Structure formats: C-alpha cells, structure tokens
Amino acid sequence: MDNLVPAPVRVDGNDQGTGFLPDHSTTLLAGPGTGTAERWLRSSLGASLGLPLAPARPGDEATGNTVELRVDPALAPEAYQLTVAPGTGVRITGGDPAGVFWGAQTLRQLLGPEAFRRAPVASGPVRPVPFLEIEDAPRFGWRGMMLDVARHFMRKDDVLRYLDLLAAHKLNVFHFHLTDDQGWRVEIKRHPRLTETASWRARSKYGHRASELWDETPHGGFYTQDDIREIVAYAAARHIRVVPEIDIPGHSQAAISAYPELGNTDVIDTSTLSVWDTWGINPNVLAPTDTTLRFFEGVFEELLELFPADTSPFIHIGGDECLKDQWKASPAAQARIAELGLRDEDELQSWFIRHFDTWLTARGRRLIGWDEILEGGLAEGAAISSWRGYAGGVAAAEAGHDVVMCPEQQVYLDHRQDGGPDEPMPIGYVRTLEDVYRFEPVPPQLSEEAAAHVIGTQANVWTEVMQNRARVDYQVFPRLAALAEVAWSPLPAPGERDFAGFERRMSEHYARLDALGVDYRPPGGPLPWQRRPGILGRPIEGPPPNV
C-alpha cells in the first residue's frame, strides 16, 4: 500500500489477516451512478485477472467477497474512500461517478502489476489487497496532458491508448492539439480540402529545424468525425474531458495551403504555399477578414457538435506565436485596424480572439488560449494556458482569469531528460523526473484570491522530434507520473518533497508501465534502440529561468 502513484491523501492499514484476494466467485455490486467504474472494472480488471466479476446478488455483500461501488454526495467531487476489511470485501465510495472511477484505479494498483495486463499471465491469483482504508481527493480539478498530433500524426488507437494511460494516473484532461502549420487533423465536412490537402505534407525535417536531415516520406493523416466521436466517448467513459485546439490566427499555414483566401493575399501569393515541412514559428498567419471569421465559425460549428459541452466545456484557440509582420505590411489589415479604432497589431489579434470568445460564449463554451492572448487585452470569461513561464499565468490570475499552469521551463516533456550524450534528439533544458516532481503550479507570490484562479496544471507534449508512439512514450514517461502526483496529491513545498520516497514507489510503477507496454525512459538512461545518435537537437544548457 506504500507504492501508490499518485500518493493518496491518507492511508490507514492493519495486519488483520492476509487481505482481500479476488477469485472466480468475487462479485461486483454497483450502486446508482457507478456504471462507468463498473464497466471499466469488468472489462479491464476482469480481463487482466481472468475473472468474471459477476453482478452481485442479494446477500453477496455479506460473504466478504464483493467489490461494492457507491456514490455519496457528502464527499467532494472526484474524492473517494476505499475500504478493505475482513468480512466486507472492498468498498469504493466516491463523491461522484468520477470519484468512484479513481478509486477503482487505486484498487488496480493495489492488486499489483499483473492487474495492468490485458490477460492473466499466471494461473495463480494476484497478490491480496491488504486490509486498509484510503481517503483521497485531488488537489486540482484540471490535471492534464496536451498531445500535439499536428506535427506527427498519432493513429486513433494510439490516442485511445493514451487516454487509458491518463486514466491510470488519475489525469482528467486531454488537450488535443489538432491543427498547426504542419498538418490539419480533424475532418470538417463543409471545408473538405482541410483533410484532402492540409492533412499531408510532402516530407519532414528530421531533428531540430537546423538539422540538415530530411525524412522524404510523405507524412499525414486525420481523424474522421466518427473517429473524433469515438475518442470523445472513450474519454468520457474514463471521466476525461477533451479540450480540442484549433490554432488561430498563427500556426495556420496548413489551412492557408488548402484555402489560400484565408491568408494575407495582398502581401504574398498564398496560392504557392504548401503544408509546412519544417519546424519553428511560421510567418504565414490568417488574414483578419470577414472571410476568415466566417470560415472558422463554420469550423467551430462542426467542432462543437463533435465535442459536446458536458465533455468539452473549454475550446482552445491557440493564439500563440502569431507573427505580426504580414499584418504590418498588409493594407487590408491596416485598414481593419483603422476601421475598428485599434492602436496596433496586438490589439488586432485581441479583436480576433475576442470575436471567437463572444461566439463561443454565446454557445455555452469557454475559450482558452496560450498566454499570448493576454496581449492587447483579454476577454472577460477567457482562460489561459500559461506556457512561456509563470508570468502570464500570474498576470491573468491577478486579473481574475482562470489559469492552467504549464510553463515550458518546467513541464514541456519534449525537453530532454538528461544532459548526457545519449538523449535522443535533445531539445531544451534538462528536466529530470525529480525536476518535474518538484514543479509547483501555484507561484508563492499570488494572493489567496488569485491562487484560486489556478485551476490546475498539465504537461505539454510537442512532437516535432517524436515521429512515432515509442518516441512519445520515451519523452512522456516516467515524467508524466511525477506530474500526475503534483496535480493530484497535497505535496509540501518543492524543496521539502520526498523524492526518494517517490522513487521507491516508482520501482513498482515501472512494472505497471511494463505491463502496459509503455516504452518509457529507464532510470539508468536510454536503451540502445531508444537513442538517435547524430540527429541534431537544440539543447539549452544550465537551469531554466524562473520567469
């Protein structure tokens, strides 16, 4: 019981007997509102143990061989209590259906790494669950991971797998970065060229953008609308909210290549643009025209149908790294600035963002964007993802805006994990497992009122140098487990955290990741097939600045 990740709030154990050992007669008693946990236990835990976990019949609970699920609204949302006692079996009580589900995830960890496999590997039982009582609840309501599928596409089945990995770590937000200069990944029926043209690029830079190497294989793919519905439903069954991102007005060359009228046609010949094949900040941004507004209103109309409000209350519109050079040179953009009475191009971007904030608010959604959307003024109800450091999040929280803390210097998982020469395609600062474990999402200078606007944290996974699932696994794990504990558990100040204890608990968690087939970075460094010798990266030396 001392190997749980993330660590629960309180665990009390005793030595009365050997504990609870499920067998073929174990039954599942599911109360009202616990259907998601019941179905997950039967399909996942039942499969790994080779047990039917049949529905309980009257009197089964008296035998002490029952897993009972129930909701008690007296508990906080997402909170749960897990009790294992002689003669009563396992009882998981959640403050809501999500709390019951997180309690079920804890039960799987208590049963040992074998419970993470898809089929039983031995004829004997798993280890018994000790008699104990756990009380647990999350620190933050937003505990997430952003996955970039625009730079390198990830197949639908691999996305579903990542949703299972998030659920296994009690993470409840999947930020789905669907569009960028290098590809458009979601089917929009009224604009078919977004997938016919914008979802494929002819080749890809191999390594950092300064690398001389190219992968000449065409790269791309997209999710059909039914694929998206399946992903959203799969996430909802695991109490994971999906935050779709359509990046505007920058990072839009893929869309402009399909529909040249979206670009600044009075500055460049946009008909010559193709889906971008390298990395970095692209100068080709959307034109601030009515044509562009109507086009993306159509995109968002279809998107809102695919991502229902109960699963996706937030819609991410990007807003980052929008170079203003073309707007400065564009007579049409300058005329719009004058028409609207704006001071400059920053306010023009703010006008663009505010338009979609108003549009989304009218349809019952909340806009969230990267911290650049603060420039020129932020719409009242908008939230931000603070990526350039803490400063944007601090400014937003003090102004009364909700904030998700995800500073590049701390929780960008594309950054390298070690300073040694074997790290594959080394990018950015060294961010070790311990560094992520000591990350603190709430800056100490915030007032209590402002700190309440830090609604959570997430790790960001940008995939320029992650060509496949194995590379994503290597960069994400084991550091995502540390982020999960930061987001869930009531940890002390960063310098006081028991990293040695976390490492000890990780020794068993690695076995769980092995059972799940995760290609994580081993504690001793990359395995030979995980290295990428000779591929240029962009390592940044020294500790990251606290900005």
Q: Which residues are catalytic?
A: 180, 251, 321
Which helix (H) or strand (E) element contains residue 139?
none
In single-letter form, the type of residue at position 104 comes to A
Alpha helices in 2-87 (DSSP H): 35-40, 46-49
Q: Computed from CA positions of residues 49, 51, 56, 59, in that sequence, does the dihedral angle turn out positive or negative? A: negative
The closest alpha carbon to 131, from 69, 86, 82, belongs to 86
Taking Cα atoms as reference points, which of 101, 102, 109, 105 lies closest to residue 126?
109
359 exposure class (CB count in 10 Å sphere: 0-12, 13-18, 19+): middle
Helices 290-306 and 345-361: crossing angle in degrees, nearest 10, is: 40
Structure-block tokens of residue 395: 């400014």
Q: Where are the beta strands (DSSP E) in 19-74?
A: 27-30, 54-55, 66-71
Could you tell me if 257 and 227 are in contact, meaning their C-beta atoms sit under 8 angstroms apart? no
Spatial neighbors of 357 by CB under 8 A, at least 6 apart, are: 367, 379, 381, 382
SS3 per residue for 155-181: CHHHHHHHHHHHHHCCCCEEEEECEEC
What are the structure tokens assigned to 442, written together? 């709430």
* CB-based contacts of 281, cutoff 8 Å, min separation 6: 250, 321, 323
